Each structure stands twice: as C-alpha cells, then as structure tokens.
C-alpha cells in the first residue's frame, strides 16, 4: 500500500468574485442540511461538501473546509480550485476559505466526465450500506481525500453509461453524486435513496 500523502493547498489569491451558482449551492445545501446528509457530527466535525464547475473550464467552486455548520454560505466560505496535482494531493485555489480536503475527489469527477457540472459529497450510512457494491464503489483501501481515491474514481467513471453515483467503501457513509448541475446531482441522490427518504 502506498504511503498516505497529506492534502495540501496553495492560495493563488484571496480575492474571489461571487459566482452565479452560489444561490443554487445554498438552496441545495439547505435541503441536504435538513436531511442531515451534510452538517456537523457529534464531535463537532463538519462533513459533506458541494462543488460547481466554473462554466466549461476545469476549475470549480467548492464549499470551504469546516463550513458544515454554517446555514447560508457567502463567497467568503467558498474556494475556487484552479489547478490540481493528483499525485501530490495538492490544489491551487482562489478565495479566503480553505478548499475542502476532499477537493481532489471532486476534481476526479470533473476530470472524468466533461458533462459533470456539479458534485455532492454527503454522508448517509443507510444509503451507503444499501448501495455498496451495487453502484460504482471505490475499494476499502482507498481513503477519502487521497490520490488513491481520485484514481479509483477516474477508473470507475471512464465509461459514460455508469450511474452518476459513487459509494466510497473506505469512507463510511461516504456517497458522491454528480450531474450537469446541482439539481441533477441532488435528484440522483434522492432517486437512489427513495426507499430511505420517502
């Protein structure tokens, strides 16, 4: 097994203009908070993150680290990832917030699928257990926020007809869904969890 390479990030600039999808991002964050699929765990650690691609570029806006408990995000709670190094587990970003340590996991989805415009990462132990190995599933050995996780996701998503959901076997409760926008990514999540959320 390879050595664990810690996530690191380098700020290009602290300035970041607001982006069109911020209102959408807050709307879907609200739904996810209400369903307790993102938020803060009993130990006070935030979980879950959302991202939106910047137009047709490879860049994306992602919720900042430790923003899980904030009901409504402003641009100061978001970071724009502008470069990724999967091997070094490193990103370059713009903004005053630190990008989520799971940024490379989001980047792997944007890299694999040009049509992916938004990604949701949430925690749901029921859906996780039900969907494990039934939908594209990363191995137990791949921990979240590692180069291994990014590589596995890129391999799983090389086929264009795969479902827009990934279960992370090595990250308990960890689910990823994606779509052309947040509306679709959220719909995929609700559709997969229809027995659970109804």
Cβ at position 10, least distance to Zn ion in Å: 22
Cβ at position 138, least distance to Zn ion in Å: 12
Cβ at position 171, least distance to Zn ion in Å: 6
**90, 143, 190, 196 from 132: Cα distances, Å:** 28, 15, 16, 15
Cβ at position 92, least distance to Zn ion in Å: 22
In the beta sheet, which residues pair with residue 102?
none
Q: Which residues contact 157 (CB under 8 A, 6 or more apart)?
A: 108, 109, 112, 113, 136, 166
Task: State which of positions 68-127 bind Zn ion (CB under 5 A).
Answer: none
Instruction: Specify the residue, 94 or 121, whose C-beta has the smaller distance to Zn ion.
Output: 121
Give yes or no for a contact between 91 and 9, defined as CB atoms under 8 angstroms apart.
yes
Rounded Cα distance between 107 and 91, Å, is: 10
Instruction: Specify the residue, 25 or 37, whose C-beta has the smaller distance to Zn ion.
Output: 37
User: The tokens 């109804």 sit on which residue?
Assistant: 198
Q: Which residue is nearest to Zn ion (CB)?
A: 174
Task: State which of positions 141-180 bind Zn ion (CB under 5 A).
Answer: 174
Instruction: Specify the residue, 68 or 95, whose C-beta has the smaller distance to Zn ion.
Output: 68
Residues near Zn ion (CB under 5 A), total:
1
State the residues that interact with Zn ion by CB under 5 A: 174
């Amino acid at each position: 097994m390879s050595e664990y390479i810690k996530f690191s990030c380098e700020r290009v600039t602290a300035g970041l203009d607001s982006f069109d999808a911020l209102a959408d991002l807050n709307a879907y964050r609200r739904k996810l908070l209400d369903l307790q699929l993102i938020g803060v765990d009993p130990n006070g650690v935030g979980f879950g993150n959302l991202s939106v691609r910047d137009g047709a570029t490879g860049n994306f806006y992602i919720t900042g680290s430790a923003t899980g408990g904030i009901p409504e995000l402003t641009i100061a709670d978001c970071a724009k990832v502008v470069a990724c190094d999967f091997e070094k587990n490193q990103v370059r970003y713009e903004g005053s917030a630190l990008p989520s340590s799971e940024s490379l996991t989001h980047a792997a989805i944007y890299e694999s699928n040009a049509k992916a415009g938004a990604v949701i990462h949430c925690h749901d132990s029921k859906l996780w257990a039900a969907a494990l190995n039934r939908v594209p599933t990363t191995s137990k050995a791949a921990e979240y926020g590692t180069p291994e996780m990014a590589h596995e996701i890129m391999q799983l998503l090389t086929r264009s007809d795969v479902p827009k959901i990934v279960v992370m076997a090595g990250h308990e409760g960890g689910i990823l869904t994606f779509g052309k926008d947040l509306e679709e990514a959220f719909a995929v999540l609700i559709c997969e969890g229809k027995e659970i959320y109804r």
